[in-house]
Amino acid sequence: MYKDKPNTTIETQESYKGGENVKYGIKGSVRPENSVVENGIVKETYEIKNYNQENYNSMTSNIGKQAIKRAEELPETATQKIVIDTRGQKITPEIRQKITEDIIRKSNKIIKKENIIFME
């Protein structure tokens, strides 16, 4: 997706605080799994979660809390994206809709529907 963009890099587990890239371990910093950086500007961050039917309420709560904290610490240019890994599991459209609605609600609408990706 990004390989044809020479000024775009994928950074893994970079730390951010106050909108700036900071050293790992700085108190209060956040670390998304991946960040897409274009011309030195953070455009997107990705968090990947494994779906488990037994703990999906906990998963959506955790995603919501992380999104709220990250909105405070990531650069304003960054769009937060969530990838839900459902490979090997049966997930109905109703469950997918419920997960999506829960993430949007629990993140105080920081995470938008179009930024929730289900990996099948």
CATH number at residue 91: 3.40.1350
The answer to whether position 48 is within a domain reads yes
Angle between the N-to-C axes of helices 56-73 and 93-106, in degrees from 0 to 180, rounded to the nearest 10: 40
Q: How far apart are CA 116 and CA 100, in angstroms?
A: 7
pLDDT at 93 (0 to 100) = 95
CB within 8 Å of 112: residues ≥ 6 apart:
104
In a domain, 62, yes or no: yes
> pLDDT exceeding 90 applies to what percent of the chain?
85
Q: Is residue 58 in a domain? A: yes
Domain contains 108: yes
Contact assessment for residue 70 and residue 30, using Cβ atoms and an 8 Å cutoff = yes
- Interval 114-118 mean pLDDT: 98
Average pLDDT over residues 35-52: 95
Paired tokens of 88 = 């090997």
pLDDT for 4 equals 72
- Give the integer Cα–Cα distance in Å for 32 and 48: 9
Q: How far apart are CA 104 and CA 63, in angstroms?
A: 9
Q: Which residues are bridge partners to 8 per DSSP?
A: 38
Is residue 3 in a domain? no
Residue 45 domain boundaries? 8-119
Domain count across the chain: 1
DSSP H stretches of helix in the chain: 56-73, 93-106
* Mean pLDDT score across all residues of the chain: 94
Q: 1 lies in a domain? A: no
Whether 2 maps to a domain, the answer reads no
pLDDT at 2: 65
Q: What is the pTM of this model?
A: 0.91
